[in-house]
Amino acid sequence: MTTPGHLMAAEIAEQPTVLAHILSSYDAHLSPVLARLRAHDTRSVLLVARGTSDHAAIYAKYLIETRLGLPVGLVSTSTYTAYDAQAHLDGVVWIAVSQSGGSPDLVESTEKARAAGALTIALTNADGSPLEAAAELRLPMLAGVERSVAATKTYTASLQWLWLLVEGWAGGSLDAAAGVPDWVAGALDRPEVSEVASRYRFVERLVTTSRGFAYPTARESALKLMETCYLSAHAFSGADLLHGPLAMIDEDRPVVVICPDGAGGRALQPVLEQLDARGADVCLVAPPEVTATSAARIPLPSGMIEQLAPIAQVVPLQQLALQLALSRHYDPDRPRGLQKVTKTT
């Protein structure tokens, strides 16, 4: 008999090793992609993904807009599949992100985008996947086989690859990523995670929020809590939270705030003030540089670069989902009714 959650726990723990492997071996895979991008007359970028990979795509959107100054959109795949729209994609770079590379809607839309003139790139964790075959260029996640239904190491591997891709495309130094494996190792096994899991064991509703590069972390954390713990978790950007959803916040609906050290953290200060005024039960996920009042806190490593910090930010929240699920006697490796590969059309 296997122990519930053992796959998810092992894959969370593997992340520093996976990220170090990517950083030691990316050049051979990335160099031909960067050469093609630099020769391409790019006017805009489209990102296509589902589920956890969609949150990685949102992270890439922030990177591309801030580092490259290009307009970026998230693809509605039904435009190409259900509605059979005829797109004109000359000058477009199309980046498809998928752990499995097997979702039919991603494959079909990428095939159509390539035929419509887009330069297509597939980032997948499965060699020889249909999505790889559909795209002109390929990047391997190099995360190793992921067996738990809840994606963990493929998410952080995707973030690492997307940062390398965008920073390399922008002509920046990739040396800044050297500290990432150590940051992730420092975010593992924080005792405060167990305390927060105990605090929220019987919670049925929860909100996650952040701004900027950390906003995808809020979305990914909410997804992990939903799929492993079966609670109602809603993710909002801090700006959107203040535009209406704040009305539902009270002391009975905890709010997990991922607060980076940087512009995104400064943008969150009015949100933290409003949450404090409402008496909200706030769990602050932040490095020691961030000072704010909260009912609970999960500390993150100090000195992280804001653009790269999401790779480490999500790790204690993955462990929170794991520990909270186990405390409720669920097996997060096998969420009810879910499969590792979701076949959307």
Q: Among all residues, which ones are annotated catalytic?
A: 340
Q: How far apart are CA 29 and CA 203, in angstroms?
A: 44
> Nearest to residue 160, comparing CAs of 282, 16, 264?
16
Here the tokens at position 158 are 């995707």
The first and second tokens of residue 18, run together, are: 């996976």
Which strand ranges, in their side-by-side order, compose the sheet holding 137-140? Answer: 72-74, 44-48, 92-98, 119-124, 137-140
Helix (H/G/I), strand (E/B), else coil: 322 = helix
Q: Which residues, in sequence order, are CB contacts of 128 under 8 Å at separation 6+?
A: none
* Contact predicate 156/308, CB 8 Å: no
- Among 18, 26, 337, 57, smallest CA distance to 146 is for 18
Residue with tokens 């499995």: 100
Taking the C-alpha atoms of residue 151 and residue 318, their distance in angstroms, rounded to an integer, is: 9
Q: CB–CB of 259/233 below 8 Å?
A: no
Answer whether 259's CB lies under 8 Å from 268's CB.
yes
Q: Quick one: how many helices (H) and strands (E) in the chain?
A: 14, 10
Q: Which residues contact 240 (CB under 8 A, 6 or more apart)?
A: none
Single-letter residue type at 11:
E
d(CA 241, CA 46): 26
72-74 and 92-98 beta bridge pairing: unpaired
